[in-house]
């Protein structure tokens, strides 16, 4: 269900673009500001924006910001920008002020009504009886209209409630508690997306330490973000309706996994930090316990003694540790965001033999009949590298590329309808050489719609 307020607002915008009919019911300031971040670029000209150049008016606005306790270092009397709601009739404009910016500081409509009501009447006068300079429609909104966000798609920090769902993952923000629930399918830190590794996980994310630096806090509100959770095995070995993707070749073992990790930002420069993530099995391979054989993906192999074996590969300990850097190309207009990660990864995969002893099926992994244990042995096996690009403004989309465990994992997401329906596509490509090829290394492509509701 589309957020009602946003739907009404965008509908009004579209009607204005087509020639104009009566505007729908008024929308709250906060909802309008949210819509400003995601409005289609073709509709941007319908937001009247101008710079006030009248010295006396500049001084009055500047003084009001000072009296409101704003930091003088952030104020610029020569950079006062007014942003208004779309107008119905360009020939008879009626300006509804949404935002007034003075340098890096801003006041939204509710603050303007409370702190500069009389002055706002003059600023909003349709004749604008003061010196001003219109901002061309091609000029993008300022950072006050579009906030800098670390992860616009998955964990937006500028909302109270958030929910998103796709075939890959689901997230839920629990109100003002700063707790996030995150459920996902796959082990993408090792390059295995969606059903490929035969496991899924549920994480609880929580910030532990607040960023007290006033300049970087809006974009990076916390210096430590901790997550903890558990992993569980998937029992369905078929893809059902998703027959176009390869059937999975890996399995999670019994007993689940314990998971924890964190992002630690440097206090002296929060854009830089260290990322750590570890997934550890909670139980070993126990040959005394029977298994439900149809829930394990297997392949056949001839052992060293010439005997044909049925092999079930188990994905065991995985994790990575990396140094990261967050970079907004223009901090004043934080539209283009990059994140770079570089470090080490570890993936442990153990082959086990499926043994049927008079109808009792169990796993055995302690013999030497050609059963393999796969873990990093060469330099390329250890590398963990990732680059992400996100545009989080008028047309939010993102691209990422990760190298880990000899896999290239790429992701692209683009909006389909407004800010509530996206398309998310991921492709995992095995780069391992033919000489070292493993039976469970299969390239996988998968796409999914994404539903998002933020407010």
pLDDT at residue 434 in the model: 81
pLDDT band at 393 (very low <50, low <70, confident <90, very high): low
Contact call for residues 444 and 197 (beta carbons, < 8 A): no
Q: Can you give the pLDDT at residue 46?
A: 62
Using DSSP, how many helices (H) and how many strands (E) does the chain show? Answer: 6, 24
* Alpha-helical regions (H) of 177-302: none
Mean pLDDT, rounded, of the chain: 85
What per-residue confidence (pLDDT) applies to 242?
80
The pairing of strands 308-328 and 397-404 is: unpaired
E strands within 96-198?
A: 97-102, 105-108, 132-134, 162-165, 169-173, 180-187, 192-193
pLDDT band at 94 (very low <50, low <70, confident <90, very high): confident
pLDDT at 146: 57
Token digits for 27?
């929308």
Most confident of 14-23, 71-80, 89-98: 71-80
Average pLDDT over residues 429-448: 90
Answer for the pair 235, 298: CB distance below 8 angstroms, yes or no: no
Q: How confident is the model at residue 42 (pLDDT cuts 50, 70, 90)?
A: low
Q: With CA atoms as reference, report the closest residue to 313 among 237, 407, 409.
A: 237
| Residue 138, pLDDT score | 55
Evaluated on CA atoms 12, 15, 17, 22, the torsion sign reads negative
Q: What is the mean pLDDT of residues 124-152?
A: 73
Q: How many CA atoms lie within 13 A of 209 on its CB side?
A: 10
The pLDDT of residue 137 is 64
Q: With b meaning 16 or more CB within 10 Å and e meaning fewer, what string describes 288-322?
A: eeebeeeebbbeebeeeeeeebbbbbbbbebbbeb
> What mean pLDDT is predicted for residues 80-94?
81
Average pLDDT of span 73-96: 84
Count of alpha carbons within 13 angstroms of residue 80, beta-carbon side: 21
- Cβ atoms of 174 and 162 within 8 Å: the answer is no
Q: Which pair of tokens denotes residue 222?
A: 């916390």
Q: Which pLDDT score is estimated for 148?
A: 73
CB atoms within 10 A of CB 214: 10
Residue 152 pLDDT > 90, yes or no?
no
pLDDT at 90: 72
Residue 187 sits at φ, ψ, to 5 deg, of -130, 75
Question: With b meaning 16 or more CB within 10 Å and e meaning fewer, what string describes 149-164?
Answer: bbbbbbbbbbeeebeb
| Structure confidence at residue 27 (pLDDT) | 42
The pLDDT of 383-392, averaged and rounded, is 93
Q: Which two tokens stand for residue 210?
A: 């607040």
The separation between CA 251 and the C-alpha centre of its own chain, rounded to angstroms, equals 27
Which segment of 202-211, 351-360, 391-400 scores lowest on mean pLDDT? 391-400
The DSSP annotation for 368-436 comes to -SS--EE---SHHHHEEEEEEEEE-SSS-EEEEEEEETTEEEEEEEEEEETTTEEEEEEEEEE---GGG
- Residue (of 121, 117, 133, 146) closest to 44 by Cα position: 146
- pLDDT, tens digit (0-9, with 9 covering 90-100), for 255-313: 999 999 999 999 999 999 999 999 999 999 998 899 999 999 999 989 888 899 999 99
What's the pLDDT at 420?
86
Query: What percent of the chain lies above the pLDDT cut of 90?
Result: 51
Residue 217 or 3, more confident: 217
- Please give the C-alpha separations between residue 7 and each of 13, 15, 30, 39, 308, in angstroms, as whole numbers: 10, 12, 14, 11, 62
Indicate the pLDDT class of residue 134, thresholds 50, 70 and 90.
confident
Q: Mean per-residue pLDDT for 120-127?
A: 90
Span 238-251, mean pLDDT? Answer: 85
The encoded tokens of residue 40 equal 């289609």
β-bridge pairing 169-173 and 397-404: unpaired
Looking at residue 153, its pLDDT comes to 80
Half-sphere exposure for 282 (CA within 13 Å, toward CB): 12
Q: Specify the pLDDT at position 139.
A: 53
Greater pLDDT, 87 or 440: 440
Instruction: Between 421 and 238, name the one with better pLDDT.
Output: 421
In the chain, pLDDT over 70 holds for what percent of residues? 87
């Amino acid at each position: 269900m589309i957020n009602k307020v946003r739907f009404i607002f965008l509908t009004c915008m579209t009607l204005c673009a087509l020639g104009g009919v009566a505007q729908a019911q008024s929308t709250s300031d906060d909802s309008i500001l949210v819509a400003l971040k995601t409005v289609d670029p073709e509709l941007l000209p319908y937001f009247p924006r101008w710079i006030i150049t009248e010295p006396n008016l500049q001084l009055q606005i500047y003084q009001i910001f000072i009296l409101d306790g704003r930091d003088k270092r952030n104020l610029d009397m020569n950079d006062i920008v007014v942003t208004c709601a779309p107008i119905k009739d360009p020939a008879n404009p009626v300006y509804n002020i949404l935002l007034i910016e003075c340098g890096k500081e801003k006041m939204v409509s509710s603050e303007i009504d409370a702190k500069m009501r009389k002055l706002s009447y003059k600023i909003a006068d349709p004749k604008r009886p003061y010196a001003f300079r219109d901002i061309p429609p091609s000029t993008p909104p300022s950072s006050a209209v579009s906030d800098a966000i670390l992860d616009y798609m998955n964990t937006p920090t500028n909302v109270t409630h958030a929910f998103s769902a796709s075939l890959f993952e689901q997230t839920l923000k629990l109100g003002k508690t700063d707790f996030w629930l995150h459920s996902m399918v796959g082990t993408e830190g090792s390059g295995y997306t969606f059903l490929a590794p035969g496991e899924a996980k549920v994480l609880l994310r929580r910030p532990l330490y607040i960023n007290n630096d006033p300049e970087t806090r809006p974009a990076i509100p916390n210096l430590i973000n901790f997550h903890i959770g558990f992993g569980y095995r998937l029992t369905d070995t078929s893809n059902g309706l998703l027959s176009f993707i390869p059937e999975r070749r890996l399995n999670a073992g019994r007993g689940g996994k314990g998971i924890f990790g964190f992002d630690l930002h440097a206090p002296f420069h929060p854009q830089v930090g260290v990322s750590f993530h570890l997934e550890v099995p909670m139980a070993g391979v126990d040959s005394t316990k029977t298994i439900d054989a149809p829930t394990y993906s297997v392949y056949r192999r001839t052992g060293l003694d010439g005997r044909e074996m049925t092999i079930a590969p188990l994905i065991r300990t995985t994790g990575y540790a990396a140094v990261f850097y967050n970079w907004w190309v223009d901090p004043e207009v934080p539209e283009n965001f990059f994140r770079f990660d570089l470090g080490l990864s570890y993936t442990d995969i153990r082959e086990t033999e499926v043994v049927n002893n008079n109808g009792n099926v169990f796993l055995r992994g302690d013999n030497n009949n050609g059963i393999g244990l796969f873990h990093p042995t060469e330099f390329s096996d250890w590398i963990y590298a990732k680059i992400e690009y996100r545009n989080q403004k008028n047309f939010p989309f993102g691209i990422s590329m990760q190298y880990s465990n000899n896999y290239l994992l790429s992701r692209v997401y683009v909006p389909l309808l407004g800010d509530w329906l996206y398309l998310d596509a991921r492709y995992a490509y095995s780069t391992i050489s033919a000489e070292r090829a493993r039976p469970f290394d299969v390239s996988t492509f998968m796409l999914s719609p994404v539903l998002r509701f933020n407010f």
